[in-house]
Structure 1
Amino acid sequence: MHRFLLTPRWWAINVFVVLAVPFCLVLGTWQLGRFEDRVDSHRAQEERAVESEQARPAELSTLLPPTTETVGRPATVTGSYDAEQQLLVPDRILDGERGFYVLTPLLPRDGGPAVPVVRGWLPGDPDPGAVPPPPAGTVTVTGALQAAESPRAVNARSGLPSGQVAVIGAASLINLLPYEVVNGFVTEREATAPLRAVPPQAASGTGLDLKAFQNLGYTAEWFVFAAFVVFMWFRLYRREIEARRDAELGIAPAVPAASAVPAAREASAPVGSTAGSTTGSTTAATPGG
Structure 2
Amino acid sequence: MYRFLLTPRWWGINVFVVLAIPFCVFMGSWQLSRFEDRVKDHRSETEQSAENKTAAARPLASLLPVDKETSGKRARATGRYGEQLLVPDRELDGKRGFYVVSMLRTDDGKALPVVRGWLPGDVDPDRVPAAPTGQVTVTGALQASESPGSGTAGGLPKGQLGMISAASLVNLVPYDVYDAWVTVDRADGAMKPVPAAAPQGTGLDLKAFQNLGYTGEWFVFAGFVVFMWFRLLRREAEFARDAALGLAPETAPVSYDDAGKAPV
- Both structures adopt the same fold (TM-score exceeding 0.5): yes
Amino acid corresponding to residue 55 of structure 1 in structure 2: A
Q: Which residue does the alignment assign to 1:60? A: 60
CA drift at 1:151: 2.1
CA drift at 1:211: 0.5
CA drift at 1:261: 6.4
Q: Which residue does the alignment assign to 2:41? A: 41
Change (3 A) 1:32 1:51: same
Q: Which residue does the alignment assign to 1:124? A: 121
Q: Map of 1:108-187 to 2, 5 A cutoff?
A: 108-109=106-107, 111-152=108-149, 154-187=150-183
Q: Which residue does the alignment assign to 2:72? A: 72
Report the secondary structure of 1:79's partner residue: strand
CA drift at 1:104: 0.5
Q: Which residue does the alignment assign to 1:51? A: 51
Change (3 A) 1:112 1:42: farther
State the Cα deviation string for residues 74-131 of structure 1 (Å, max 9, x = none).
111111000xx2100000001111100000000113x142100000111111111111
CA drift at 1:194: 1.6
Q: Map of 1:1-289 to 2, 5 A cutoff?
A: 1-82=1-82, 85-109=83-107, 111-152=108-149, 154-252=150-248
TM-score normalised to structure 1 length: 0.85
CA drift at 1:65: 1.1
User: Equivalents in 2 of 1:80, 1:228: separation in Å?
Assistant: 65
Report the secondary structure of 1:205's partner residue: coil
Structure 1: gaps of 5 or more residues: 263-289
Structure 2: gaps of 5 or more residues: none
The structure in which a higher percent of residues are helix is 1
CA drift at 1:158: 2.2
Report the secondary structure of 1:151's partner residue: coil
Change (3 A) 1:224 1:4: same
State the Cα deviation string for residues 158-181 of structure 1 (Å, max 9, x = none).
211111111101111112111111
Query: What's the C-alpha RMSD, in Å, of the aligned pairs?
Result: 1.7
TM-score normalised to structure 2 length: 0.93
State the Cα deviation string for residues 31-76 of structure 1 (Å, max 9, x = none).
1111111111111111111111111111111111111111111111
CA drift at 1:222: 0.7
User: Equivalents in 1 of 2:255, 2:104: separation in Å?
Assistant: 85
State the identity as a percent. 61
Report the secondary structure of 1:195's partner residue: coil
Report the secondary structure of 1:150's partner residue: coil
Report the secondary structure of 1:86's partner residue: strand
Report the secondary structure of 2:238's partner residue: helix
CA drift at 1:227: 0.6
Report the secondary structure of 2:157's partner residue: coil
CA drift at 1:252: 3.1
User: Equivalents in 2 of 1:75, 1:59: separation in Å?
Assistant: 6
